Structure 1
Amino acid sequence: GEGNTMPAQQHAGKARRLVLTLEKGLTGCAAEATAYGKCISANLDTIERHACQVQFQSFKSCVEKTLKRKW
């Protein structure tokens, strides 16, 4: 019935806000995201845990600063 549509609409709204928030973080940190991606690509055959830790931390710090929240 009618009662079931409201929660779905609220969920869709929350999902949209999350996507917009993530988009803001990624857009503001494009250089850091690119550096991290390039590091992973360059080490794909021999990737080890923490191989791109420096680039990841730089990207993570940028996103946290941009979004003003920890993740």
Structure 2
Amino acid sequence: MNATRYTRQSSSVLDAGQSSIKPKIRKGSISDIAQAVSHTSPCHHLSIKYGECVSNKYQEVEKDICQSEFEQFKECVQSVLGRKW
């Protein structure tokens, strides 16, 4: 009986927690970046190019191994978002 009570409490806490938890995403952050790399964006082909470089060279750990691909992708995302970081 004690285990049943614990299970009920756990599930009700979980249900309440899941329904009340909402991620706090600042406007102009993750959702904008996701749009900048979506398949309809001008940066999509550069994200693919950078991803292919990383996946092809992941065993060759070396600094700046895909630097040119990353810089092209970064510049595109920054131009789409209208800000730099």
Greater than 6 Å deviation, 4+ residue runs: none
Q: Which has the larger radius of gyration?
A: 2
TM-score (normalised: structure 2): 0.62
* C-alpha separation in 1, matches of 2:60 and 2:35: 32
Root-mean-square deviation (Å)? 2.1
Which structure 1 segments of 5+ residues have no match? Answer: 1-7
Which structure 2 segments of 5+ residues have no match? Answer: 1-20
The aligned counterpart of 1:19 is 30
- The structure, 1 or 2, with the larger RCO (C-alpha pairs under 8 Å, 6+ apart) is 1
**Structure with more helix by fraction:** 1
Q: 1:32 aligns with which of 46, 49, 66?
A: 46
TM-score (normalised: structure 1): 0.72
* C-alpha separation in 1, matches of 2:60 and 2:30: 32
Number of residue pairs matched by the alignment = 61
Work out whether residues 39 and 52 of structure 1, in 8 Å CA contact, stay in contact via their aligned partners in 2: yes
How do 1:1-71 and structure 2 match up within 5 A?
Answer: 12=24, 15=25, 17=27, 18-27=29-38, 28=41, 29-71=43-85
Q: Give the counterpart letter for 1:20 in structure 2.
A: S
